[in-house]
Amino acid sequence: MIILNTKQDYKNHINLLKSKGEIIGFVPTMGNLHDGHLSLIEIAKKNSSKIIVSIFVNPLQFGKNDDFNKYPRTFNRDVSKLKDLNCDILFAPNDTYEVFDEIDNLKYLKAGPKGNILCGKLRPGHFDGVLKVVYTLFKLTEPDVSIFGLKDFQQLYLVKKMARKYFPNIDIISAPTIRAKNGLALSSRNSYLDKTSIKIAPLFYKILLEGINNLKHSTSIEQTTNKIINSLEKNKFLVNYVSLLTIDLEKLNPNSSDKKILLSSVNLGGTRLIDNIEFS
């Protein structure tokens, strides 16, 4: 595996791959890799001839209440995992300038109304920052395929929308949420959970599943939502939101045959958890 730290070296290698007709699969990450990330790489391998992963903790997606400096950084361990998966190139920029030297040119790039609901409401500007880094990395990498996890459904929705407009030739693949045996969705932030919280955390997914089953026997979105919130609060979760929507993040008609999604964010012992479940 080749590790590149500067934009120029990275671009040179991309041009070389392009000249050889390689199909480039790209997985952007912020590091602290877990099995969820590794599953994205496995999908990339099935759809590409060369695999590129980036590790860059993006300061633009951290708000005032998020601690950029405390985000877990496990570079040496991450490198070992990527080598085991036969990743071809790791782009690990030396500093922010290697990514955002033309940041002023991205002021127009906004997530829009659907970036200001759910997690975007909790973290103003977060998705603007996500789109800016993904846009920049796409410009640098020019991948044929890029893989994003369904766990971060709102992020995936917004990235797909941005890609359709600016990068129509990139195939964005949605990867299934990877869960622990107890149902908890894997996340870099799970490492923040203390011994007590880690035992409670799996109830998050279980309660959401129960909520979906409740909706199948009820036509009331409000009643179902309130029941989920009450159940979460009884189990010591601080609820940020529980929302039943269409997969286009629009208001839901419970009688519709369209695909639906239940999205939720909670805090547990100071750690923010998100999850979502698609259903019909």
Residue 32 — left, alpha, or beta (φ > 0 → left; ψ -120 to 50 → alpha)? Answer: left
Q: Which residues are catalytically annotated?
A: 37
Domain ranges for the chain, please list them.
2-175, 188-279
**Selected residue with higher pLDDT from 102 and 241:** 241
Here the tokens at position 261 are 């999604």
Q: 228-241: per-residue pLDDT in tens?
A: 999 999 999 999 99
Domain spanning 188-279: CATH 3.30.1300.10: yes
Of 69-73, 153-157, 261-265, where does mean pLDDT reach its minimum?
A: 69-73
- Residue 103: the pLDDT is 65
242 close to 259: Cβ distance less than 8 angstroms: no
Model-level pTM? 0.94
Contact 131, 109 (CB under 8 A): yes
Question: Predicted confidence band at 280 (pLDDT cuts at 50, 70, 90)?
Answer: confident
**Do residues 52 and 25 touch, judged by C-beta distance below 8 A?**
yes
**Measured between alpha carbons, how far is 182 from 279 in angstroms, rounded to an integer?**
20
Q: Determine the average pLDDT of the residues in 218-247.
A: 95
CA distance 249 to 257: 15
pLDDT in tens, 132-141: 999 999 999 9
Task: Tell me the pLDDT of the chain averaged across its residues.
Answer: 94
pLDDT digits (tens, 9 = 90+) for 31-87: 999 999 999 999 999 999 999 999 999 999 988 767 788 888 999 999 999 999 999
CATH architecture of 2-175: 3-Layer(aba) Sandwich (3.40)
